[in-house]
Structure 1
Amino acid sequence: MARESWASRVGFILAAVGSAVGLGNVWRFPWMTAEYGGSAFLVVYLCIVLLVGVPGLVAEFVIGRKSKRNPAGALARLAPGTKSWGYVGLFGVITGLVLLSFYSVVGGWILRYFAASFTGSYFAEPSAYFGRISFGAEAAAFQVAFLAVTALIVLGGVRGGIEKATKVMMPIIVVLLGVLAGWAVTQPGAGTGLSFYLDFDPTPIQNDPIGMLRAAAGQALFTLSLGVGTMITYASYLGEDNSLAFDGSVISVLNTGVGVLAGLVVFPLLFAFQGGLTEVTEGGESGAIFMGVAGAFREMPYGEVVAVGFFGAILFAALSSSISMLEIPVAYLVDEQDVSRRNATVGLTGLVLVTGTICAFNPGIFDFVASTLVDLMLTAGLAGFLVFTGWVLGKDALTEFDSGAGRIARALGTPWLWSVRTILPLFLLATLAVNLYAML
């Protein structure tokens, strides 16, 4: 049976951007920005995306396109002399399942808020409303609905499901956020939010440089879907004429642009209608959109209309990422175990329902997975992929990098390989060590 492939380059780019955009940009990013000093965090985050994210993204593309396999199959095929690298890839497959377990719970919250936005039922007391629906039977029920939609898209395959869905969802996300941002920045009091977000103040970096780097690195890996094998899987469906460096740069720019755009919605609304960041800092990762912005809708004219657009955009963003998380283990079972896509999708969705339900009923487990475990696994996973690219593939990686590349991109190949071999793995291992130490 012939392996699936993307119908077009645009379809691949939109699917990869969809995987990257996700809730990392609109659920986690505003809270991280508020927690770590606004514009200072934004600057450090953008630097890490450029210096770590883009090279890491291209490294995963190289592995995927060269092998035409899922993460586990890719590393095993490209390093046939040892089984250990296959286990590194399998770690990425497992990470995808762990990630989707908590992510589907948040996706269920988004679905619940989107439905409730038509009536504004959470406007009066957003904090109490979130406390009531965030964990327990209602959270589990909406998680099931969110996963069902995710599974239906993945069942359609690469072209008929993932590519078709992201070609529809991504333009809608950008248009909705763009319209909301244009409206938000014109509201009275929004200027204070814009200053917090965009006026650079180095003080937070000076006060806690290590903490800032840890947070920004974790956010960059989370929002670019790095370290889990998503980009290996997506690139495995690519043809040889794509410039991996160019596509990686475009995907990173578009992903970062959507994240910045989301900030232009969230922070002006919080300062214009909520008077600041109290709900964000008190509500943790979920405070920004489920308490802060949700409360702002109560104060504004046509709040229901704005809320439907806002949570509609976030729902599409969540789905565009969740389908990529499910596709990783599905591709593993299809490639390595000769399981049909239908059976793989149904079976894995059932497994995630079990693990996700554990998160939906246990806030402590949810917080540990979402705030600690995922960052550790993504950092370790990307470090492994970089070491593999730089030292196992070596010059073969450079050959793959050059395939389909233009003159300018080819000139960047040698510095890219050098950074993948040395600086980037060391940076990630240091970040991993600091994160582990912080847990003690």
Structure 2
Amino acid sequence: MAQRETWATRTGFILAAVGSAVGLGNIWRFPFLVGQEGGAAFLVVYLLFVALIGFPAMLVEFVVGRRTNRNPVGALKELGGGVWQYLGWVFAATGFIILSYYSVVGGWVLRYVLIGLQGGYVGDIEGAGGQFVEAASGLDAVLGHAIFMAAVIAIVGFGIRRGIEFAVQVMVPAIILIAFGLAVYAFTLPGASEAYAFYLSPDVGEILANWTDILPAAAGQAFFTLSLGMGAMITYASYIGDDRNLAEDGLIIVGLDTLIAFTAGLIVFPIFFTGGVDPANTIGAGAIFISLAAALGDLSFGWLIGTVFFGTIAIAALSSAISLLEVVVSYLIDERGMERFTATAIVGTIIFVVGIPTALDLVFIDLYDLFANNILLVFGGLMVSIFVGWVISNVALDEIGRGVRNLGSWGDVWIWLVRIPVIVILFVTIYLGVFEYYEFLTGDFADWLGQNL
């Protein structure tokens, strides 16, 4: 077998992992969830979830990937065997499903960059809604989906160093610089103070009253934005050396990802409030594209700000999408001996076909997204946490200690975080997620079926 690729530098790995984490989840999904779940109340729960659950869970995936130098399917087969080997397929399936609609949303973003360049953002909700429906469904959406997916295939096809690592070294610094610049601009808007009150002043009573809604949303968002439960971090960690400090790298990755998500709120909500848009009404996949576009239409130079903003989302979406495709491609390379570009083209084409329904009707976005984020992501995280925390804990502690001068008792702290609070909270979260998905299937989706069949 040919020698397996590795990252050229530590910076390359960190930027790739940050690029995987920083994507549509931070800038498209995060703001509408904050608005939907009560503003600062959701933000507090989300930040706690990232720190107490997301970071330990990321180290779990790092351990599995680096220990085996394999894709998720091969890694779980090597470490666990038996029934555990099938867990790798859950990761692969999750990434596959997410990328199928993620690429469609990436196509929407590309369309909105063009709309901005043409000065075409509509300054009212009704008009912006019509503009979004036109852009987000039908042949135009399929075309955008195809263009975005082709870009992902091209980058992954060139490999780890010449494709993914080279691309993220350009994309991730650009995302960070542009996001900070837009946040400074948003600070100058008339609605900034009202926006910050909504976004940064949590109501504890609201958290306690609505925790059954906030918890699964925060968990799904944390796992989505950190690229957990989909095999991306297992895959990326499989390309790094034994001398790396996984905890240190993980802290940098989680910190940068969370900072950018937080910054996205500092950008979006001042624009909402300045444009007279109520964030609580910006619910669903089209929130940013309808509500934000309507607010931008009322701003001076809104077309320019919108072009830069949606351009940033496009870069972030691409940096995440390449990690999702790499999960499945790495399986075909490692386990089936397939040549990289052939594997990339085949998988990318299949994912494109699976995503076509979400480009034709928006109901399929919710069908795919709720299933992948509220159930599959959390289930994958739950099962791999049980496996690492209780089945191979000695192996995990040995692996987490590599590259660390003095691990001390921190390894035991980490493993017990994984064994009890991480597993308990993920179990509760998946229970709530399944219940929410059932409500969707028997509610909105059943109504859609009744109208279209």
User: Given the two structures, how large is their TM-score scaled by the length of structure 2?
Assistant: 0.93
Distance 2:236 2:11 in 1: 13
Report 1:223-238 matches (<5 A).
Answer: 223-238=225-240
Q: Tell me the secondary structure at the aligned position of residue 285 of structure 2.
A: helix
Aligned residue number for residue 333 of structure 1: 332
Q: Indicate the residue corresponding to 1:434 in structure 2.
A: 432
User: In structure 2, how many angstroms separate the alpha carbons of the residues matched to 1:214 and 1:275?
Assistant: 26
1:286 correspondence with 2:317: no
Unmatched tracts of structure 2, length 5 or more = 440-453
Separation of aligned partners in 2, 1:5 and 1:382? 25
Contact 1:5 1:238 in 2 (8 A): yes
Matches within 5 A, 1:230-379: 230-277=232-279, 280-281=282-283, 284-287=284-287, 289-379=288-378
How far is the alpha carbon of 1:228 from its aligned partner? 0.8
Percent identical residues: 42
SS in 2 for 1:139: helix
Closer, same or farther in 2 for the Cα pair 1:107/1:337, shift >3 Å?
same
Of 135, 138, 141, 1:139 maps to: 141
Q: Is this contact kept in 2: 1:184–1:190, CA < 8 A?
A: yes
Deviations 1:232-271 (A, max 9, x none): 0000000111111111111111000000000000001110
- Corresponding residue SS for 2:167: helix
Map of 2:151 onto structure 1: 149
Q: Which residue of 1 aligns with 2:163?
A: 161
Give the structure 2 partner of residue 214 of structure 1. 216
Gaps of 5+ in 1: none
Superposed CA deviations along residues 263-284 of structure 1, whole A, max 9, x for unmatched, are 0000011101234326514xx2
Q: Deviations over 1:71-99 (max 9, x none)?
A: 000011112xx332111011111111111
Q: SS state of the match for residue 319, structure 2?
A: helix
User: Residue 173 of structure 2 is aligned with which of 171, 174, 177?
Assistant: 171
Aligned mates of 1:380, 1:206 — CA distance in 2 = 25
* Cα separation, 2, equivalents of 1:37 and 1:384: 30
Runs of 4+ with >3 A deviation: none
Instruction: Give per-residue Cα distances to partners, 1:320-364, cap 9 Å, x unaligned.
Output: 110000000000000001111011000001101110112212322
- Please provide the CA RMSD for this pair: 1.3
Tell me the amino acid that sits aligned with residue 416 of structure 1. W
Quote the Cα distance in structure 1 between the aligned partners of 2:398 and 2:341: 36
Task: Provide, for residues 381-413 of structure 1, a one-character-per-residue CA deviation record: whole Å limited to 9, x for no partner.
Answer: 111111121122211100100100243x54311
Provide the C-alpha distance between the structure 1 equivalents of 2:408 and 2:12, rounded to a whole number of angstroms: 24
Separation (CA, whole Å) in 1 of partners of 2:20 and 2:408: 26
1:265-324 deviations in whole A, cap 9, x for unaligned? 00011101234326514xx2321x201221122112222221121011100010011000
Q: Give the paired residue count.
A: 434
Q: Deviations over 1:32-51 (max 9, x none)?
A: 10111111110110000000
Q: CA deviation at 1:69?
A: 0.2
User: Quick check: 1:61 aligned with 2:59?
Assistant: no
Greater shift in the superposed pair: 220-229 or 266-275? 266-275
Check conservation: 2:285, 2:365, Cα contact below 8 A: no
Shift of 1:373: 3.6
- Whether the 8 Å CA contact 1:92–1:229 is kept in 2: the answer is yes
Matched, 1:422 2:425: no
Query: Residues of 1 paired with 2:371 and 2:348: CA distance?
Result: 24
Task: Pick from 206, 214, 221 the counterpart of residue 204 of structure 1.
Answer: 206
Q: Is the 8 A contact 1:222 1:375 kept in 2?
A: no
Deviation at 1:427, TM superposition (A): 1.7
State the SS of the aligned residue for 1:285.
Answer: coil
Counterparts of 2:210 and 2:245, CA distance in 1 = 38
Q: Which amino acid aligns with 2:229?
A: G
Q: Name the amino acid aligned to 1:403.
A: R
Structure 1 residues 374 and 277: CA distance shift in structure 2, 3 A:
closer
Q: Distance in 1 between matches of 2:150 and 2:277?
A: 38
Q: Secondary structure at the match of 1:120?
A: coil
The residue identity in structure 2 corresponding to 1:426 is V
Measure, in 2, the Cα distance between the counterparts of 1:422 and 1:356: 37
Aligned partners of 1:274 and 1:292 also within 8 Å: no
Question: 2:380 aligns to what?
Answer: 381
* 8 Å CA contact 2:216, 2:374 repeated in 1: no
CA contact (8 A) 1:402 1:410 kept: no
Q: CA deviation at 1:199?
A: 1.5
Per the alignment, residue 35 of structure 1 pairs with 36
Q: Which 10-residue stretch deviates more, 54-63 or 126-135?
A: 126-135
Matches of 1:275 and 1:131, distance apart in 2: 19
C-alpha separation between the residues in 2 aligned to 1:263 and 1:437? 28
What SS does the aligned partner of 1:241 have? coil
Q: Tell me how far apart the structure 1 counterparts of residues 33 and 277 of structure 2 sit (CA, whole Å).
A: 19
What is the CA–CA distance in structure 1 between the aligned matches of 2:175 and 2:111, rounded to whole Å? 18
Q: Following the alignment from structure 2 to structure 1, what is the Cα–Cα distance between the partners of residues 192 and 201? A: 13
Supply the AA of the counterpart residue of 2:409. Answer: A
Residue 401 of structure 1 contacts residue 410 of structure 1 at CA under 8 Å; is this kept in 2?
no
Written as runs of structure 1 = structure 2, the 5 A alignment for 1:61-140 is: 61-79=62-80, 82-124=81-123, 125-140=127-142
CA distance, structure 1, for counterparts of residue 159 and residue 55 of structure 2:
27
**Residue identity opposite 1:168 in structure 2:** V
Which residue number corresponds to residue 9 of structure 1? Answer: 10
Tell me how far apart the structure 2 counterparts of residues 298 and 422 of structure 1 sit (CA, whole Å).
Answer: 49
Give the Å deviation of 1:203. Answer: 2.8
- Matching residue of 2:397: 398
* Distance 1:437-1:189 versus aligned 2 partners, 3 A rule: closer
Q: Report the CA distance shift for 1:47/1:108 in structure 2 as closer, same or farther (over 3 A).
A: same
> 1:71, 1:332 within 8 Å by CA — same for their partners in 2?
yes
Q: Which amino acid aligns with 1:336?
A: E
How far apart are the structure 2 equivalents of 1:222 and 1:424?
16
Q: Distance in 1 between matches of 2:105 and 2:435?
A: 28
Deviation at residue 135 of structure 1 after TM alignment: 1.2
